[in-house]
Structure 1
Amino acid sequence: MNFDGIDPHWIWLIAAAVLGIAELLMPGVFLIWLAAAAAVTGFAALLLGMPLAFQFALFALLAIAAVYVGRRWYASNPVESSDPLLNDRAARLIGETVTVVTAIEGGHGRVRVGDGVWSARGPDAEVGTRVRVVGAEGTCLKVETLGIPQQPTN
């Protein structure tokens, strides 16, 4: 692509439009911040007639600032979800009852969850013991033994 004869501010504005369209086609709320930085750089180049090296420096600074502001804004305005634990499988397992497949000794063992096996931490338990998931640290589940009801004595 040959940009001879095109003023740099038009290239920045075209880049902003392309990034904005790309954001619409591939939503992820990232490219829009770069599009904003390119648009501001384009308007600044149009109004101030800056050298090309300064335009690139301005775009770099604006892109960093825009992404930073965008991340902070989204962190303080979370998107509501009907299933907030959708992508946190370990958190979804809290409260589930699972079976010990590798004895929990010294606080470490493995448990069966569905058709998979997860690392587990908790009180010592023999193979086959049913335990409840009470938390998770990464991919390691924290478990506790289930209370065994007392048998009535006659």
Structure 2
Amino acid sequence: MQIVDFVATNGHWSWLVAGLILLALELVVPGGFLLWMGISGIAVGLITMVQPMPWALQWLIFGVLSLLTITGWVQWNRRRPARSDRPYLNRRAEHFIGHETVLEQAIEQGFGRVVLGDTVWRVSGPDLPAGQAVRIVGSEGAVLKVEPVF
């Protein structure tokens, strides 16, 4: 009963300690949501230091702050563009769009082959003879779409 009495008389310290525990758990359990719950717990602790209030209202403020901060973080994170020093990683075909090359194998019945770097790529486009200069205009999976260059 002494613990319950202590928490009842010093509720703001309980919120501050709970917030710090949640922040420490964020270091162990990744995901981001414990960070915002910890910050919300600390905020409730600081608010109750200044203005004492009943436990039900404290829990309501904690819940609302947690939901708002987590939702705000998720939405901000989704809108933020992913930056990469290798934007074409796992999208090699898109890297070649705009390049010009020569057909290694004639395009017959819609498909042929070109050599780009150290790789032989399958291409699709209008029927063209081997040796024809082509420009890569798109990709569909691992098949490059080409058009003739005159």
Structure 2 counterpart of 1:52, from 55, 64, 67: 55
What is the CA deviation profile of residues 79-108 of structure 1, one whole-angstrom value per residue up to 9, with x for unaligned ones? 53345688xxxxx4774xxxxxxxxxxxxx
- 2: CA distance between counterparts of 1:43 and 1:51? 14
Aligned residues: 98
State the secondary structure of the residue aligned to 2:30: coil
- 1: CA distance between counterparts of 2:92 and 2:86? 15
Aligned CA distance change for structure 1 residues 80 and 53 (closer, same or farther; 3 Å): same
**Aligned residue type for 2:6:** G
% identical equivalent positions? 28
- 2: CA distance between counterparts of 1:54 and 1:35? 18
State the secondary structure of the residue aligned to 2:83: coil
Aligned to 1:68: 71
* Larger helix share, 1 or 2: 2
What is the CA deviation profile of residues 51-98 of structure 1, one whole-angstrom value per residue up to 9, with x for unaligned ones? 000000111110111112212332343453345688xxxxx4774xxx
Aligned CA distance change for structure 1 residues 15 and 84 (closer, same or farther; 3 Å): farther
CA RMSD of aligned residues (A): 3.1
**Unaligned regions of 5+ residues in structure 1, if any?**
87-91, 96-132, 136-142, 148-154
What is the CA deviation profile of residues 113-151 of structure 1, one whole-angstrom value per residue up to 9, with x for unaligned ones? xxxxxxxxxxxxxxxxxxxx725xxxxxxx86999xxxx
**Unaligned regions of 5+ residues in structure 2, if any?**
94-138
Residue pairs, 1:2-151, within 5 angstroms: 2-6=3-7, 7-82=10-85, 92=90, 95=93, 134=140
The Cα of 1:11 is off from its aligned counterpart by 1.1
Q: Which has the larger radius of gyration?
A: 2
Aligned CA distance change for structure 1 residues 47 and 65 (closer, same or farther; 3 Å): same
Aligned to 1:112: none
Farther-moved stretch of structure 1 (12-21 vs 74-83): 74-83
The Cα of 1:44 is off from its aligned counterpart by 1.1
